[in-house]
Amino acid sequence: MLRLRAMRITLIGLFGLVLLLAMTPHISRVSAEDNSTQTENAVTADSVERVVTSERAVNAMMGCSYRTHVQNVGWQDFVSNGAMSGSSGLSQRLEGIEVKLDAPVTDLGITYQTHIQNIGWEADTTRGWKSNGEMSGTSGQSLRLEGIQIKLTGINAEQFDVYYQVHVQNYGWMDWAKNGESSGSQGFSYRLEGIHIVVQPKGTAAPGKTDTPFIKATKPSFEAQVIALVNQERASRNLGLVTSEPTLTRAAQIRAEEIMQLFSHTRPNQSSCFTVLTELGITYNRAGENIAAGYSSPEAVMAGWMNSEGHKANILNPGFNKLGVGYAQSGSGYGHYWTQMFISN
């Protein structure tokens, strides 16, 4: 079930919404927005104690407890030592997680971060890594966890391995990751639904396969292809080329994930699509957005946009000099979601 739609915001009050049902994929465009006014070798008592601690640690039965915040359920009870936290067969996202070590081994801690919908890896933001029972994720925002990294810290961290395995929407149980590796997915907009965690002495056999704990979509290639196709169209008409920049690409990616929830130039929070620019500190004089759903390749979505006068107008607008492209996949709905965010600055 796919369709095509074009929308011109500045004219909607006069002409309403124009629906063209001859094409199956689903696209939409918003007209541009003006924003012009905008470090001897000595052995001390302390070091001797640390050596003894390490020897004890190797033989310790290390316990690890964890719990998750599950969509429509809330915080579950703590489980430990490889038991599943989360849900099975209910299609419910994980929204938060707390992890802690149980055995009182000195100089040993655990730290972790998650990849959060619309936010990304926490260590790339001011949120940072969480540790020793702190919550990683969000509360009250209905944002899914998409990936996780867990590692041990402290002098005795070298005596243990931490293994973790997640259940990913549309994929099922991934292979086991360990010691800070990524587990889950990135770029597919797939939720985590369950997790196992175990801490065991270094050198102990892994709990299971470790080949593929993480999958990452080839979105950068898709994004680059769309920009190349845009510049091909512009060059053929002697128009200036557009360039990409990371923050604008992030804005477009946020919008691509948002239109999976609400296919509109109005965001799920009911604000204008352009508020994502100001939220990320992007300054601009003029901005425009094209959105689409149902197209499985850069070539297909560009053809759809170029066959719609409203979308084509944004692509060929001589005033635009920057372009961010977002792409997201979903196991339901239209499957493929695209956003172009143009600005001039």
Backbone φ and ψ for 169, nearest 5 degrees, come out as: -50, 135
For residue range 22-39, list pLDDT tens digits in order.
234 666 655 455 443 332
Q: 């849900």: which residue's tokens?
A: 87
Return the axis-axis angle of helices 219-235 and 298-306, rounded to nearest 10°. Answer: 40
Half-sphere exposure of 49 (CA within 13 A, CB side): 6
- Report, as an integer, the average pLDDT of 201-219: 88
In this predicted structure, the answer to whether residue 47 has a pLDDT above a threshold of 50 is: no
How does residue 215 score in pLDDT terms, banded at 50, 70 and 90?
confident
Distance from C-alpha of 191 to C-alpha of 169, rounded to nearest angstrom: 5
Radius of gyration of the chain (CA): 24
- Which pLDDT belongs to residue 266? 95
Distance from C-alpha of 157 to C-alpha of 138, rounded to nearest angstrom: 28
- Report, as an integer, the average pLDDT of 233-252: 94
Torsion of CA 171, 173, 178, 182, to 10 degrees: 20
Q: 3-class DSSP state for residue 110?
A: strand
Backbone region of residue 83 per phi and psi (left: phi > 0; alpha: psi in -120 to 50; beta: other values): beta
Burial of 314 (0-12, 13-18, 19+ CB in 10 A): buried
How does residue 46 score in pLDDT terms, banded at 50, 70 and 90?
very low
- Which pLDDT belongs to residue 106? 82
Confirm whether pTM is higher than 0.95.
Answer: no
Label the pairing between strands 214-216 and 183-186. parallel
Contact 216, 186 (CB under 8 A): yes
In the structure encoding, which two tokens stand for residue 130, read together?
């969480």
Alpha-carbon separation of residue 278 from 36, 286, 289 (angstroms) = 13, 12, 14
For each of the domains in the chain, give its residue range(s) and CATH number, in order of start: 4-37+218-344 (3.40.33.10), 45-216 (no CATH)
Distance from C-alpha of 198 to C-alpha of 227, rounded to nearest angstrom: 44
CA-closest candidate to residue 97, choices 111, 80, 114, 84: 114
Distance from C-alpha of 193 to C-alpha of 145, rounded to nearest angstrom: 8
Half-sphere exposure of 156 (CA within 13 A, CB side): 25
Distance from C-alpha of 245 to C-alpha of 118, rounded to nearest angstrom: 18
How does residue 141 score in pLDDT terms, banded at 50, 70 and 90?
very high
In the structure encoding, which two tokens stand for residue 122, read together?
């926490």
Distance from C-alpha of 47 to C-alpha of 183, rounded to nearest angstrom: 35
Label the pairing between strands 183-186 and 145-153. antiparallel
- Report, as an integer, the average pLDDT of 196-216: 93
Question: Given CA atoms 143, 220, 251, 338 in this order, what sign does their dihedral have?
Answer: negative
In this predicted structure, the answer to whether residue 75 has a pLDDT above a threshold of 50 is: yes
- Which pLDDT belongs to residue 9? 34
How does residue 55 score in pLDDT terms, banded at 50, 70 and 90?
very low
Backbone region of residue 66 per phi and psi (left: phi > 0; alpha: psi in -120 to 50; beta: other values): beta
**pLDDT cut 70: percent of the chain above it:** 80
Distance from C-alpha of 283 to C-alpha of 345, rounded to nearest angstrom: 7
- Which pLDDT belongs to residue 29? 56
- Which pLDDT belongs to residue 132? 93
- Report, as an integer, the average pLDDT of 238-244: 95
Half-sphere exposure of 185 (CA within 13 A, CB side): 22
